[in-house]
Amino acid sequence: MADAVEGDTAARRRFLPGLTRDNLPREVMAGVTLIAIAVPLNIGYAQIAGLPVTAGLYALILPTIVYALTVSSRQVVASPDAAAAALVASSLGGLAVAGSEDYSTLALAQAIIVGVMFLALSYFKLGFLANFLSKPILVGFVGGLALDIMVSQVSKMFGISQEAGSKFIDKVSTLVGDMGEFHVWSLVLSAIAVAILLLGRRWRPMVPWALVVLIVATVIVVAVGAEESGIDVLGEVPSGPPEFTLPVLDWSMWLALIPSALALTMITTAEGLLISRAYSEKNGYPVKPNRDLFAYGASNIVAGLSASLTVGSSTSRTAAMDQAGSRTQLPSIVLAAGTLLLVVFGTSLLADIPSPAIGAIVAVAIIPLLGFRDFQDLWHRDRTEFFIGVVCFLVTLLVGSIPGILVAFVLALTNLARRASNPAIDVLEHSGDPGESLLEDAPRGDTTAPGVIVVRLAAPLFFANADVFSQAVKKSIHAAGVENVDYLVVDMEAVTDIDVTGAESFEALQRWLVEQDIVMSFSRVRDDAIDRLDRMGLIDDYAIYPTNREAIADLELAEEEQREE
């Protein structure tokens, strides 16, 4: 009997790591909570993306199952989120009319392309590319998308209709211009919904208040009568499970979707891997980033084949599951099963859900994405990175999501080049005072032997900083007096790599040193850098010393022998 129980537990661990007989009830209850959180939000996110409600619900079935069974993280919840939905809408709005069949086909194709990109990232182990999206860039990009969503949801809460695919400025103009014609009952219902969501979250955080709002709002509308009250409702939702279908498009349209798919892939990669790492470190279990990328790829391909939309990681739902004590992917399986039952047997329950209530739920959910605290934190920590975030925010908001992500990458590369072109360069030189100690790791201002300058570059030497390093060496020699310098020792401990431009800069510096009758040597060269230096032809004529102290001692000895001769 014991062997049977042990075997059953082992099987569950292989199926869903972390799942045991003891935590099974807790994981199932967490799944029920996840259903209550995810269903209302995905209805709203589908509307943001300009897709049928079923697209948001279908994303909770097959894509969720595939992700849960292939991902290495035990907690990250996969689902469409507000930023991804907004990016889908903004990228497809210029290619087709939101809500049309062509528009839905484009969304499916976009999800498949995203899936293929994820699989490529996983296969070639390129997840590190997402590191180019630094925090300021992510805050600005997601914040711009979030504010655009907020305006749409506020309009819905006021009962003001917005034209599908309109720009942010047009949305604001419509909202302000039609404010005097707002629908009273829509606003009242929205105000009640917001109050319940905000106050309820403080009072009982574990209660699925979004579901409570949908139920209460629907009961009110049914009791009063939607037509009599004038409140817009969701309407009839087709029933039935997702069906597999392959989107058929011209090659030109497939190519047109690549930029937006790349943006979706990079944003999801950066956010998803960050969340996965954070929770694995918090709760002490291993994760495999490339396997997680594969999970995103497989789930998005399935999403594109099952009438859904692009899925990524959900920060809010993952946090909710962590607070509920979940440490496995079982809640996602329960979510998929519950949603399947809903779309097969319970779509009639969705028909009378009021749109203002959905708008309130989504608006409250995306408040953290606006990044107010993050921008405040950036302002206090680094003004340059604050302005990078602001620029990305404004471009995304006023120009579009694709220009926003392009600007984000340009800013990331510019910021990287700016930092790399100004590496820390420590200069140790003789002050002229006799008897001073030779410190192997002396900071700036300490001294070496007479006639010796030690220069330490704390970065790889490449095209962005090669000239900066060369000029710093020359400046230090001129400051000490060319006639007073006999030896230059380059401390290579922190130099992990040298490119061709860096090597040519070294050669030019060596020629200048020869003209000044100064001998150059290397010290503390890393083992993995010696071969690189050799291929570049930089160590044939130079002495290499294990430490600065040994280099200086040998140079002092050589100087003493010259004086004796």
The reply to whether 303 and 246 lie within a common domain is yes
Tokens for 173?
A: 């103009």
Q: Supply angle C-alpha 129, 392, 103, rounded to 5.
A: 80
Q: Looking at residue 348, what is its pLDDT? A: 87
The reply to whether 447 and 311 lie within a common domain is no
The CATH number linked to 495 is: 3.30.750.24
d(CA 381, CA 369): 20
Kindly report the three-state secondary structure assignment for every residue of 405-450. HHHHHHHHHHHHHHHHCCCCEEEEECCCCCCCCCCCCCCCCCCCCC
The reply to whether 435 and 412 lie within a common domain is no
Q: Looking at residue 51, what is its pLDDT? A: 93
Q: Looking at residue 329, what is its pLDDT? A: 95
The reply to whether 409 and 435 lie within a common domain is no
Q: Looking at residue 110, what is its pLDDT? A: 97
The reply to whether 176 and 49 lie within a common domain is yes
Last residue of a domain, one of 416, 447, 474: 416
Q: Looking at residue 449, what is its pLDDT? A: 64
The reply to whether 100 and 230 lie within a common domain is yes
* Total domains, the chain: 2
**Residue 546: strand, helix, or coil:** coil
The reply to whether 177 and 289 lie within a common domain is yes
Last residue of a domain, one of 416, 451, 473: 416
Q: How are beta strands 544-545 and 519-523 bridged, if at all?
A: parallel
Q: Taking the CB of residue 95, how many other CB atoms lie within 10 A of it?
A: 15
Last residue of a domain, one of 416, 444, 478: 416
Sheet with 544-545, side-by-side order of all strands: 425-429, 452-457, 487-491, 519-523, 544-545
d(CA 428, CA 551): 13
The reply to whether 412 and 430 lie within a common domain is no
The reply to whether 405 and 459 lie within a common domain is no
Q: Looking at residue 492, what is its pLDDT? A: 85
Query: Which domain, by its residues, includes 389?
Result: 2-416
The reply to whether 199 and 106 lie within a common domain is yes
d(CA 165, CA 547): 64
Q: Looking at residue 163, what is its pLDDT? A: 73
Across the chain, which has 565 residues, the per-10-residue mean pLDDT values are 46 69 90 89 90 95 96 93 86 86 95 96 82 77 86 88 77 85 86 91 82 88 76 87 91 93 88 83 87 96 95 87 89 96 91 88 85 90 87 88 77 76 74 38 47 85 86 89 86 85 87 88 79 75 63 67 65
Tokens for 421?
A: 């072109």
Cα dihedral sign, 50-150-216-209:
positive
d(CA 493, CA 478): 25
d(CA 145, CA 152): 11
The reply to whether 393 and 442 lie within a common domain is no
- 250: phi > 0 → left, psi -120 to 50 → alpha, else beta; which? beta
The reply to whether 157 and 16 lie within a common domain is yes
Q: Looking at residue 78, what is its pLDDT? A: 93
pTM: 0.75
Q: Looking at residue 117, what is its pLDDT? A: 96
